[in-house]
Amino acid sequence: MTTHTLAISPQPAAEPTSLPSLSLVVPVWNDPEGLRHLLTQVTDNPHLHEVIIADASPDDRCASVAREFAAIHVRSPRPNRGAQMNAGAAVATGELLLFHHVDVPITPGHCRAARVSGARSQFSAAAFYREFDSAHARRRWLEKFVRLYNRCGGALYGDQSLCIRRDAFYKHGGFRDMALMEDVEFTRRLRRNGGIELLDPPVQPSARRHRNRGSLRTSLFNLWIMAAFRVGVSPDTLHRWYYGKKYRDL
């Protein structure tokens, strides 16, 4: 088996040495193909100190992919993004933690933006703006409104790749042990205690559910999940609704 080298290539000569080191933490569940695609993207990324895979899969397929790319692999006993990301953070050694979804593309530009933001003395936390992919080109006129919504306190989601200093992550208590909506709950706390900077370049969240279920149906379903969370529906129940049969078959 070929082993790839991840995130340990020397810094380019022009890169300032004062930027904080960055650990990429990726929760994964039953998605070895998506994990392989992501790890191929970050191979030799000069802005990454390490890549940590927090895996809740019931088999070893994701673990094998992580080993192939020399990523750090952490096992989580059940699919729970909050618990998985906390487990990944526990072994991280970078000064900054970048929590990233496996199906969201990431570039050296994203990682450098996180490090530059994290180097500022007033830095608390950051997340990226979002943009629509090519399958939703007709919606791109909405992006400026989404950016305004994010800046004005709108909900921030895990697929916007939250970056936070490792010490601040523990100061704020990390993610709650929640099956779903842990990202919204944590970013709400961060906004109440120091705020969150919004970064460019924007990330492009996965459109897999939109392609599989239909764009309108998926958007309405996501709004319904958010409304249910706001009125107090259990995150475990929301997780079962969101993942359906995939969750019940665990």
Q: How far is CA 123 from the centre of its chain?
A: 19
Q: Give me the percent of the chain exceeding a pLDDT of 70.
A: 80
Phi/psi at 22 (nearest 5 deg)?
-125, 125
Q: DSSP states of 154-210 as a string?
A: ----GGG-EEEEHHHHHHTT---S-SS-HHHHHHHHHHHTT--EEEEEEE----HHH
Confidence of residue 155 (pLDDT cuts 50, 70, 90): confident
Which pLDDT score, from 0 to 100, does residue 42 have?
97
Which pLDDT score, from 0 to 100, does residue 153 have?
85
Q: By CB neighbour count within 10 A (0-12 exposed, 13-18 middle, 19+ buried), where does 146 fall?
A: middle
Q: Which two tokens stand for residue 105?
A: 């593309």
| Peptide bond before residue 201 is cis, with ω within 30 degrees of 0 | yes
AA identity, residue 70: A
197 or 206: which leads in pLDDT: 197
Strand stretches in the chain, DSSP E: 22-28, 50-55, 72-75, 96-99, 125-130, 162-165, 197-203
Which pLDDT score, from 0 to 100, does residue 138 have?
63
Please give the helix or strand (H or E) that residue 215 lies within, else none: helix 215-230
| Alpha-carbon distances, residue 200 vs 19, 55, 131, 143, 172 (angstroms) | 17, 28, 10, 13, 25
Class of domain 22-207: alpha beta
Which pLDDT score, from 0 to 100, does residue 25 have?
98
Low-confidence winner among 21-25, 86-90, 141-145 (lowest mean pLDDT): 141-145
Residue 103 scores a pLDDT above 80: yes
Which pLDDT score, from 0 to 100, does residue 78 have?
85
Phi/psi at 177 (nearest 5 deg)?
-80, 80
Q: How far apart are alpha carbons 42 and 48 in whole angstroms?
A: 8
Residue 141 scores a pLDDT above 70: no
Residue whose C-alpha is closest to residue 175's, from 41, 76, 64, 30 = 76
Which pLDDT score, from 0 to 100, does residue 205 have?
83
Which pLDDT score, from 0 to 100, does residue 218 have?
62
Which pLDDT score, from 0 to 100, does residue 250 have?
35
pLDDT digits (tens, 9 = 90+) for 51-63: 999 999 999 999 9
| Alpha-carbon distances, residue 233 vs 10, 22, 26, 34, 67 (angstroms) | 48, 35, 26, 30, 38
pTM for the whole structure: 0.84
Beta 96-99 vs 162-165: how paired, if at all? antiparallel
Which pLDDT score, from 0 to 100, does residue 238 have?
78
Residue 76 scores a pLDDT above 50: yes
- Please give the mean pLDDT across all residues of the chain: 85
Which pLDDT score, from 0 to 100, does residue 135 have?
58
